[in-house]
């Protein structure tokens, strides 16, 4: 089932209570058109072009974020380049970042139980130290790009060093943008599929994306927070089954039916799918 807006708001408020920060990094021309209290939760606007606004450099904050993004994506080999972050994120849109103070981030690293958390957060802290960054430490983030379609956005760059934060980052960002429809790229075998699925049924626009460098990639579209009743899947597909994905693509190409990924998105390498005529 999809998360409700109230659940996202509650999660964000708990983060603020627990000492996390919420930031929206963009430029003033864009920030003036975004919602700075999504779901009633205040997010701090940061203009990356205002070089004198903080004792620390916003450029270094985003360099550290890039390390978070690159390390979190790991073996996929699709790191976020600085020029992409600038041209496709900071100028036309905004990054919703969840942050911790350096002291709290160090404490989270020292108590982290999961190897992936230790790896990602350790790389982030090392990058901050290398840059001499004395500001907040990004521990999760999300960005989506606007399209000419009213209310239509294309999501990218979801990453998190601490389990559970990615969902809140994405949920708040979508409310900040006023997104109604979200198109995105994901992998059938990626655990992040479970995060993306929390915002509504995911229509499989394309089950095969040869242009993408990572295997088992799909393109999906979600009507954000659309009514999402529980339904029984028509089929269950092994996320590693390339032939099943090609067959699904043939059925999509044939027309006459739509295919949706159902909740929770991915369980034991299996993806529940609903066929609708």
Per-residue pLDDT reduced to its tens digit, 40-75: 999 999 999 987 667 899 999 999 999 999 898 766
Strand 44-47 relative to strand 21-26, pairing: parallel
Exposed, middle or buried by CB within 10 Å (0-12, 13-18, 19+), for 26?
buried
Whether residue 277 has pLDDT greater than 90: no
The H or E element containing residue 178 is none
pLDDT of 77: 57
Sign of the C-alpha dihedral, residues 247, 253, 258, 260? positive
Whether residue 37 has pLDDT greater than 80: yes
Residue with tokens 């460098």: 213
Helix (H, G, I), strand (E, B) or coil at 252: helix
Phi, psi angle pair for 137, to nearest 5°: -100, 120
- pTM, full prediction: 0.94
Rg, the chain, Cα only: 19
Of the chain, the percentage scoring pLDDT greater than 90 comes to: 85
Phi, psi angle pair for 118, to nearest 5°: -60, -40
pLDDT of 173: 98
Instruction: Note the Cα 112 to chain centre separation in Å.
Output: 22
Could you read off the pLDDT of 177-200 as tens digits, one per residue?
999 999 999 999 998 999 999 999
pLDDT of 55: 82
Mean pLDDT confidence for 5-34: 97
The H or E element containing residue 29 is helix 28-31
Average pLDDT of the chain to the nearest whole number:
94
Alpha carbon distance, N-terminus to C-terminus of the chain = 21
Whether residue 140 has pLDDT greater than 70: yes
Instruction: Note the Cα 235 to chain centre separation in Å.
Output: 27
Helix-then-strand count for the chain, H and E:
9, 11
pLDDT of 72: 86
pLDDT band at 167 (very low <50, low <70, confident <90, very high): very high
Could you read off the pLDDT of 69-118 as tens digits, one per residue?
989 876 655 678 889 999 999 999 999 999 999 999 999 999 998 998 99
Rounded CA gap, 50 and 239, in Å?
Answer: 45
Whether residue 153 has pLDDT greater than 90: yes
Could you read off the pLDDT of 198-230 as tens digits, one per residue?
999 899 999 999 999 899 999 999 999 988 888
Rounded CA gap, 272 and 263, in Å?
Answer: 7
């Amino acid at each position: 089932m999809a998360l409700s807006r109230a659940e996202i708001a509650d999660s964000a408020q708990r983060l603020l209570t627990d000492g996390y920060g919420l930031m929206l990094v963009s430029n003033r021309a864009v920030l003036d058109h975004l919602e700075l209290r999504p779901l009633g939760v205040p997010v701090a606007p940061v203009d990356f072009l205002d070089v004198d606004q903080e004792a620390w450099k916003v450029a270094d904050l985003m360099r550290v974020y890039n390390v978070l993004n690159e390390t979190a994506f790991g073996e996929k080999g699709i790191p976020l380049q600085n020029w992409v972050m600038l041209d496709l994120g900071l100028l036309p849109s905004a990054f919703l970042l969840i942050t911790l103070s350096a002291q709290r981030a160090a404490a989270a690293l020292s108590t982290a139980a999961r190897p992936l958390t230790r790896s990602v957060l350790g790389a982030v802290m090392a990058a901050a130290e290398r840059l001499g960054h004395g500001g907040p430490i990004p521990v999760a983030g999300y960005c989506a790009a606007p399209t000419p379609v009213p209310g239509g956005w294309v999501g990218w760059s979801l990453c998190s060093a601490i389990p559970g934060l990615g969902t809140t980052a994405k949920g708040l960002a979508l409310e900040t943008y006023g997104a109604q429809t979200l198109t995105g790229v994901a992998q059938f075998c990626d655990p992040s599929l479970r995060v993306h699925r929390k915002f509504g049924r995911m229509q499989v626009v394309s089950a095969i994306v040869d242009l993408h460098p990572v295997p088992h990639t799909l393109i999906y579209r979600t009507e954000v927070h659309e009514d999402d009743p529980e339904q029984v899947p028509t089929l269950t597909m092994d996320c590693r089954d390339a032939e099943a994905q090609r067959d699904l693509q043939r059925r999509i190409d044939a027309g006459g039916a739509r295919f949706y990924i159902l909740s929770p998105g991915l369980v034991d390498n299996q993806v529940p799918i609903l066929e609708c005529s």
